[in-house]
Homo-oligomer: A and B are copies of this chain.
Amino acid sequence: MASKQKTSRKAAAAAIRRPRARAANDGAYAGDTGDDIGLDALVGHAGYAVRRFQLWIFQDFIKTLATVDIRPTQYSVMTVIGANPGLSQMAVAKRLGIERARLVHLLDSLEERDFVSRIPSATDRRSHALHLTTRGKTALAQFKRLAAEHERHVAEKIGKENRERLLQILACFT
């Protein structure tokens, strides 16, 4: 359809496009399968590689933990609370590098599912002491088993040694 199917604001822009004056190899690549396309400067950019990897790894995490319906961020929150009971929301947010505004909704959903409880702090009436419920503790144990399975997928994908090398390189960010 190209410019024909534009209906509203695109119609004007489409009219401007010169239908002539095409350069070099037009249509030559049009039927490409997606492979054998050069990335030029993109190869050699850490950000691009990391983005693609992060996409893959999150999709695998979500898929592996789909049965328990837990997303990576939720898992990280429960893990930190489980390892450090009584933390305030501010402390958790700072530690995980997420905003406290975002943590509010995360905890809302986790509290609705009875995994986490906000207990009024004894020393500071502004803050909550975060704890895992008994249900949350047993649930987290299962999450960790599934997460370990996901981690094995990663090792299969990039290699066992490469995975550990990666963790070592990026340790300064955790």
Which residues of chain A have a CB within 8 Å of any CB of chain B?
Answer: 1-4, 10, 13, 17-19, 21-34, 37-58, 61, 72, 76, 79-80, 82-88, 91, 94-95, 97, 108, 111-112, 117-129, 131, 144, 147, 150-151, 154, 157-159, 162-163, 165-167, 169-174
Chain B residue at minimal CB-CB distance from A130: B29
**Copies of this chain, count:** 2
With the chains together, A15 CA to B126 CA distance in Å? 16
Whether the pair B79, A39 counts as a contact (CB closer than 8 A) is yes
Whether the pair B111, A167 counts as a contact (CB closer than 8 A) is no
Whether the pair A42, B169 counts as a contact (CB closer than 8 A) is no
Chain B residues positioned under 8 Å from A163 (CB to CB): 46
Whether the pair A86, B30 counts as a contact (CB closer than 8 A) is yes
Known contacts A37-B84, A53-B170; 5 additional CB pairs below 8 A are A2-B128, A30-B123, A40-B83, A47-B61, A52-B170
